[in-house]
Amino acid sequence: MNDLFSRALALAQGQTASASAILRVAQQTSDEAARWAFTQWELRVRAGGKFSRASEMLFVREALEQATHEDLAAYHASRFPPGERVLDVTTGIGADLIALAARGPAVGYELDPERAECARHNLGVAGLGAEVRVEDSLAVDWDADFVWADPARRSQGRRTLSFDELSPDPRVLAARMRALRRGGLKLSPMMRDADLESLGPQVEFVSFQGECREALVWTGGEVSPEAARWAVHVRSGQRLLGEPRNAAGESEPRAFIAEADPAAIRAHALPELSRQTGWLPLGESMGYLTRDEDLASPWVLHRFELVETVRFDPKVIQARLRAHDEPLESIKHRGLELDHARLQKVFGVRGVGSFVLLVYPGLSGVKAALVRRIRS
Ligand SMILES: C[S@@+](CC[C@H](N)C(=O)[O-])C[C@H]1O[C@@H](n2cnc3c(N)ncnc32)[C@H](O)[C@@H]1O
């Protein structure tokens, strides 16, 4: 950042980006510097959800959207041995590189000079030094045993599920990583199992803030060649091993019902979740769980107390709600193709109260349960 831009950044701090404010800063710096500075402050606010020191960092809009949350970056870095040199071959604004550099020697490669400049600045904010090279990482020899890659989507903003739309191509990265001690790739968890497994033997689905955020593929000489799939809960550090598929479960709900963590569902780890917690899969819902007694767990999102099972019929359900003298707060469904907006209208969802209608496929057709939300 040159002096002009640095001054513009200081002048724009705390100001609303009105035409007159931008003009005032431009008069003391330049049009370009003023526009850039106001954009930086907008991006810094936006980045607050991802980085604890966002207000000191520098960003490029699209690169910020693609940047890894600092807690997830710390998890990625923890999968490499401390002290060993790691290359980040897709640096962006440097979120993963910062976490890798905090663990040991690290070098970043980035095609775009502006992003590389942001990464250098952001490493400085974190008090870390790592070299960032503006180079095509596929065109150089990888002088390290450990490599990390987070390929960019070519199609702006849109989620892509095809290798052809990612840059660099994950197949090319994985082929080169196989010759190393360990290579890690960050991909969309919505990609098909067979595609992810074609890149490396170990696939982990990352649970963070109640969502399945990423699929990580690990390959290389140090990675066991045996195929394995699991879910990892970043906050608690817990893991659940996946199985070939999630089995169908109990046909009748017990006293408590819960929703399973999306990464556990995605990793086909519901059987392991049941063994560890006693929460049993409900019907063929692929995500509702049931248990005789309530139990909190990192792998369980929302918990409910069963009021009664009901026929999936608006008249019956309205009558039961009247009998309980309770409005319907919401409807949730899993494993069924239902028109959610229409359901809400037909069942008279009010958005208040604590009664929820859960709808899911059972072995003998559509099942429904009236439940009361447990607020924790
Ligand atoms: C998804 S972003 C990485 C985000 C980064 N992990 C972070 O957390 O900030 C991918 C980056 O890889 C860069 N890139 C794509 N192909 C590359 C290549 N062949 N060599 C170096 N960088 C590349 C893109 O410019 C983009 O900034």
pLDDT tens digits, 162-208 = 899 999 999 999 999 999 999 999 999 999 999 999 999 999 999 99
Please indicate whether residue 188, judged by its CB atom, sits closer than 6 Å to ligand 1. no
Please indicate whether residue 108, judged by its CB atom, sits closer than 6 Å to ligand 1. no
- Residue 55's pLDDT band (cuts 50, 70, 90): very high
Q: How much is the average pLDDT of 320-339?
A: 90
Distance 178 CA to ligand 1 centre (A): 20
Strand partners, 231: 205, 240
Alpha-carbon span 332 to 340, nearest angstrom: 8
First-to-last alpha carbon distance for the chain, in angstroms, is 47
Question: What confidence score (pLDDT) does residue 338 get?
Answer: 86
- Ligand 1 closest atom vs CA 73: 8
Please indicate whether residue 81, judged by its CB atom, sits closer than 6 Å to ligand 1. no
User: Is the separation of the CB atoms in 34 and 12 below 8 Å?
Assistant: yes
Distance 308 CA to ligand 1 centre (A): 52
Distance 152 CA to ligand 1 centre (A): 6
Query: Is the preceding peptide bond at 105 cis, omega within 30 degrees of 0?
Result: no
- Residue 159's pLDDT band (cuts 50, 70, 90): low
Please indicate whether residue 137, judged by its CB atom, sits closer than 6 Å to ligand 1. yes
Question: What confidence score (pLDDT) does residue 155 get?
Answer: 63
Alpha-carbon span 128 to 114, nearest angstrom: 19
- Ligand 1 closest atom vs CA 168: 16
**pLDDT tens readout for residues 270-293:** 999 999 999 999 988 689 999 999
**Average pLDDT of the residues of the chain:** 93
Distance 254 CA to ligand 1 centre (A): 48
| List of residues 6+ apart from 376 with CB closer than 8 A | 296, 303
- Ligand 1 closest atom vs CA 112: 25
Q: How much is the average pLDDT of 329-350?
A: 87
Question: What confidence score (pLDDT) does residue 302 get?
Answer: 92
Q: Whose CA is nearest to atom 10 of ligand 1?
A: 152
User: pLDDT at residue 104 above 70?
Assistant: yes
pTM: 0.93
